Amino acid sequence: MNDLELVERFQKGDEAAFNELVLRYKEKIYWTARRFLQDHDEADEVVQQSFLKAYKGLKTFRSDSGVFTWLYRITVNTALNVLRKQRAREFLGIDELTTETGPESDRPDEQYERREEKALVEEAIRRLPEKQRTVFILRFYDQLSYEEIADILNTSVGGLKANFFHAMRKIEEYVKRVQGP
Amino acid sequence: MSRGHDHIEQTLTDFLAGGLNDTEQNEVQTHLDSCPLCREKLASLQETIAVLERNRDSGVPEGYFGTILPRLRQRIDRPRGLGRLLDLRWPQWAAPLAAAILVAGLLTAIPLTTRETPDLAALTRELEADDLADAYFDALQTSAVPVTWPDDPINGTVAGLDLSNGVLNLILDENVLQELGTVEDLNQEEVETILRQLETRTLL
Ligand SMILES: [Zn+2]
């Protein structure tokens, strides 16, 4: 059964059809949220909130964009809201500015270097402006086409390639600057 | 004819991913064959992508994905509507917070007279926090309130020091406002901080 058929069944009161949509997309939704927030618990809450919003919204869903695109849009918006709230908390001095959790051991073994490199990548992505970060995640990690991204973000394809390019270049510069040439 | 370095550079990631059409793919390849500068950029980009790729995976607690649907169903199936509201959804500080948000809006709305003010008391009786935030923001849409949020972390930090303006912008930011709308998510300390910042703000 395709997505739209599931939606139609759900709109007629079939709760199992909604469950099927959740099962179908939960992992994709989770990973997108996780890329944005870089934290499992935060990502988990975004998954729950996104599906809750979808549950409410699907009752009146019209098929002008695909179900999946629509779900993605909800997830991206929800994740961005959490990010903004984090910044708001930092802004108000409620949270410390996000800092890297230090390595558990300072032995220069491979595992340590790997952890350090991962933290570096996350920091590079965290430093991106919101739109570049969004386009980068959807393009690089989710491997969506520019057309799909444009649909999700409700924007034109035009600027997206430049957003992606600038994001990639900033990540490259940051990683090289910290890691050395 | 080959296009310039800048254009080629912008397409290198898509080139590597095979995301270009045949014509574009050929165009980039032709340019690379004759341009050491862009070949260097390509090599550098390949290194960065390798770094990103080998750090792609993050840990997920075992069995996590199986828990998503059952927990979601629990949230969906719990009492809704009036029952939910009566179920102590509004902590005692929710109304002062909503009032503070409204006051912040009133202080900055220019011109005041062109805008209808939502009846806060009625709203708080009838609506959930989310709806209140939405209704309030709808009312704000018609007024010229500059809302900015610096994307750049450095500017953001500088702006962060300017609390009197900053907090106001923060509270009037659509998305933050929606977050504030879910007041049950805020803890007492956060609410008090916001209220304190609003109090210290002088009138225009
Ligand atoms: Zn070149």
What's the pLDDT score for residue B198? Answer: 45
* Cβ count near A98 (within 10 Å): 15
> Mean pLDDT of all residues in chain A?
83
Q: Give the Cα separation of B147 and B141 in Å (integer).
A: 11
Query: Looking at the domain that runs over A1-96, which CATH code has it been given?
Result: 1.10.1740.10
Separation between Cα atoms, residue B103 and residue B200, nearest integer Å: 13
Q: Chain B contacts of A116, Cβ < 8 Å?
A: none
Cβ neighbours of A94 in B, within 8 Å: 189-190, 193
Q: CA A22, A27, A29, A33 torsion: positive or negative?
A: positive
Q: Please report, for residues A99, A177, B47, B103, the alpha-carbon distance to residue A173 in angstroms, rounded to integers and kept in the order given.
A: 20, 6, 12, 45
Confidence (pLDDT) at B187: 55
Q: Decide if B78 touches A, using CB distance below 8 A.
A: no
Chain segment A79-109, per-residue pLDDT in tens: 887 776 676 556 555 554 444 444 444 555 6
Predicted confidence (pLDDT) at residue A58 exceeds the cutoff of 80: yes
Contact B10 A161 (CB under 8 A): yes
Interchain proximity B51–A85, CB inside 8 Å: no
- Write out pLDDT tens, residues A6-34: 999 999 999 999 999 999 999 999 999 99
Domain ranges of chain A: 1-96, 105-181
Candidates A87, A149, A166: best to mutate against B (most CBs of B within 10 A) is A87
CB B104 within 8 A of CB B172: yes
Q: Which of B44, B69, B176 sits opposite A88 (nearest CB)?
A: B176
Say if CB A79 and CB A46 are below 8 A apart: yes
pLDDT of residue B56: 87
Point out the residue among A34, A81, A168 whose CB comes nearest to the CB of B13. A168
Q: Confirm or reject contact between A14 and chain B (CB < 8 A).
A: no
φ, ψ of residue B117 to 5 degrees: the values are: -90, 130
Please report, for chain B, the start and end positions of each structural domain, with discontinuous segments joined by +: 5-54, 120-199
A121 and B51: CB-CB below 8 Å? yes
Rounded distance, CA B170 to CA B162, Å? 11
In CATH, the number for domain A105-181 is 1.10.10.10
Which residues of chain B fall below pLDDT 50?
Answer: 1, 80-93, 106-184, 197-204
